Amino acid sequence: MNHISACLALGTLIAASSPASAEVDFLVPGVSLHSVDFTAGTFVSYLIISEAHGIRDSSFVTLEVTGRGSGGAGLEITSTTWPPVDAEAITVRLTLCAGADEMKTPEEFYACISDILIRDGTEPFREPSFEELEDFDIGRLFLRRSEGLQRQELEPEIVEVPAGTFRCDVFEYFRSDRRDVAMGGITAERFEKERSILRISSEVPFWGLVRSRVERTSKTSYPGGRNSRETRPRVTVTESVLTGYFTPGREAGN
């Protein structure tokens, strides 16, 4: 997994969105930016496990609020291999304007980012190249809530992760979509479904995420009478596991 893309891997973990609204989510669909705590010193870390075609890939992602004041907040997103290796880490530092958590459209958030810096391993921060900015894909930070997702609140659970044991509210989300796509002069039918489980605790800083799992299935059907065919379903599974956290003034997790 490309490290800059992995910095935003959390954004693909959960299809946990409410029905369409004017509200904008931050990084993880379903987590409103209004619910994110930008208190300076707040820190969370996750093991990200992805599996596709029987191949597993793991990375380690951290999010840290480096400062907040009248000038806004600083946010650092770091990704490295698992187990973590400092020399292989990529860190992206964003400087957000004051009132960033009150923005109502992705476009407002883009304008709110006053500075973007990147660091390779333990090297000094530097300005990213145009190619690195494209790879980072800033648009994945701020997400409009989509339509068609069904939400169900399940029974609370006691969830044990490396960062500790938490009583979690549990939410299940489901979305399916069938649409026509043009492929090589043929109109094919694309089917996708997505089911996710999101476990949230008020004890966890930043956004409350303790553990999540999302399973995506997609397949394509090609018309043609007797020669019609359908591809084998492609299944991908991505999980996030809280490995550590810190809230200023409180005892840190592992």
9: closest CA among 177, 231, 193, 214? 214
- Tell me the per-residue pLDDT of 61-88, one tens digit each, with 9 for 90 and over: 999 998 765 567 888 999 898 988 889 8
- Position 24 scores a pLDDT of 65
- φ, ψ dihedrals at 103, nearest 5°: -65, 150
Its pTM stands at: 0.79
- Cis check for the bond before 156: say yes or no (omega within 30 of 0): no
Bridge partners for 172 per DSSP: 152, 197
Q: For 128-184, how does the pLDDT look when each residue is reduced to its tens digit (9 = 90+)? A: 888 887 777 666 666 665 666 688 999 999 999 999 999 999 988 888 877 777 766
210-241 exposure pattern, b = at least 16 Cβ within 10 A, e = fewer: bbbbbbbeeebeeeeeeeeeeeeeeeeebbbb
pLDDT in tens, 23-67: 566 766 556 777 788 888 999 999 999 888 778 889 999 999 987
pLDDT beyond 80 at 109: no
pLDDT of residue 64: 93
pLDDT of residue 20: 37
